[in-house]
Amino acid sequence: MGERSSASRPTSSLRWAVLVVGGGLAIQLAGCGRTSPSALDPHGPGADRVARLWWLLFWISAVVFAVVTVLVLVALLRRRGDRDMLVRRGGGEALIVVGGVIVPAIVLTAVYVVGLRDLRALTVPEGTDLTVEVTGHDWWWEVRYPDQGIISANEIHVPVGRPVKLILTSQDVIHSFWVPQLTVKTDLIPGHTNTTWIQASSPGTYRGQCAEYCGLQHAKMAILVVAEPADAYASWLAAERRPAVAVGDPMAARGRLALERNSCAACHTVSGTAATGTIGPDLTHFGGRRTIGAGALANTRGNLGGWIVNSQTVKPGNKMPPQPLTPEELQALLAYLESLK
Ligand code: CUA
């Protein structure tokens, strides 16, 4: 009986080893799906460095993993039932000192030095003359262009190929700015400013996400970086600088009145109107934005109607209460908000 169980032990250990290794590989591969923006698909010099560091760490880990797996398999296959004989054989100290202390010390020191070098390289480049201030709120991003006098939300427009300095802070709790394809994570801390920078090497819309748990709607705190060629960026700037357009359409004009007379105006600003609230996002050019509620919904008329009537069903806990508007007021308001390009 005793003999049989000792003989079956290596086989069952081997089975466990295969299960663990196979499971680990399956998890790795499952994580490779390209359903969300990945730091391994860099579109800017900052993210390039991060991706290169990631691959370096990956290959070092892969080699260490392979060596350790081989050693474990060798140990399992060469194992005998007689434990005393194993102890008597001896000679393992050198392997433990070299493989367990010296090699890890060299590898970890090298990785640390490379990491420090990359961290230094990620400081804002000299001569960066574009600045954007980003303030975190529960759960949206206030975006200001101090030199251009622009206030927006949840979307940062940048010219392709130029570095943009970001000054980050928070109004309430700690958030973290992370656009994986462009840059590293940087925290937004109340009462403190952090600085980082982004640069996009090709035009596109890059999705970012709050990367520090900040409460109920942390997951629905997305930000978009829209990188455009210089002329498209210049015309966006020119449009954003203007106050909200005077309304010609009578429906939209009624919508403007509805916005000014209802509680909307207490929380939102539309420059050039009586709406001057600062609790929620500035809506002066809301019609040109791609999403509603910091990426919670695409900015379509239907989504916007649902959001205004009761955004709590979409993003529970956000600060906007349900709006008791008449159907006519709602339609007018939608027409007005859509006109705010
Ligand atoms: Cu903001 Cu998480």
* Per-residue pLDDT of the chain in tens (341 residues, 90 and over written 9): 344 444 445 456 556 655 665 665 565 555 554 457 899 999 999 999 999 999 999 999 999 999 999 989 988 888 766 565 555 566 678 888 988 899 999 999 999 999 999 888 888 998 999 999 999 999 999 999 999 999 999 999 999 999 999 999 999 999 999 999 999 899 999 999 999 999 999 999 999 999 999 999 999 999 999 999 999 999 999 999 988 877 788 999 999 999 999 899 999 999 989 999 999 999 999 999 999 999 999 999 999 999 999 999 999 999 999 999 999 999 999 999 999 98
Query: What are the start-end ranges of the E strands in the chain?
Result: 130-137, 140-145, 150-153, 155-159, 164-170, 175-178, 186-188, 194-198, 204-210, 222-228, 291-292, 297-298
Q: Find the 318 Cα to ligand 1 centroid distance in Å.
A: 12
Query: What confidence score (pLDDT) does residue 78 get?
Result: 80
Q: What is the distance in A from the centroid of ligand 1 to the CA of 109?
A: 33
Q: Name the strand (E) or helix (H) holding 265.
A: helix 264-267
Measured from the CB, is residue 218 less than 6 Å from ligand 1? Answer: yes
From ligand 1's centre to the CA of 340, what distance in Å? Answer: 28
CA 213 to ligand 1: nearest atom: 2
Rounded to the nearest angstrom, the distance between the alpha carbon of 138 and the centre of ligand 1 is 7
Distance 136 CA to ligand 1 centre (A): 8
CA of 292 to the centre of ligand 1 (A): 16
In this predicted structure, what is the pLDDT of residue 4?
A: 44
Q: For residue 295, report the distance from its CA to the centre of ligand 1, in Å.
A: 13
Sign of torsion, CA 167 170 176 177?
negative
What was the pLDDT predicted at 149?
93
Please count the other Cβ atoms lying within 10 Å of the Cβ belonging to residue 240: 18
Asked if residues 111 and 57 have their Cβ atoms less than 8 Å apart, the reply is: yes
- Ligand 1 atom index nearest CA of 211: 2
Ligand 1: which atom is nearest the Cα of residue 136? 1
Cβ of residue 185 lying under 6 Å from some atom of ligand 1: no
Atom of ligand 1 nearest to the CA of 221: 1
pTM: 0.82
Q: Which residues contact 131 (CB under 8 A, 6 or more apart)?
A: 145, 146, 147, 164, 165, 166, 167
User: What is the per-residue pLDDT for 95?
Assistant: 81
The pLDDT value recorded for residue 85 is 56
- Give me the residue label for tokens 């709120």: 137
Task: Say if ligand 1 is within 6 A of residue 175 CB.
Answer: yes
**Ligand 1 midpoint to CA 244 (Å):** 30
Q: Is 212 in the pocket of ligand 1 (CB under 6 A)?
A: yes
Q: Which atom from ligand 1 is nearest to the alpha carbon of 139? A: 1
Ligand 1, atom 1, lies closest to the CA of 175
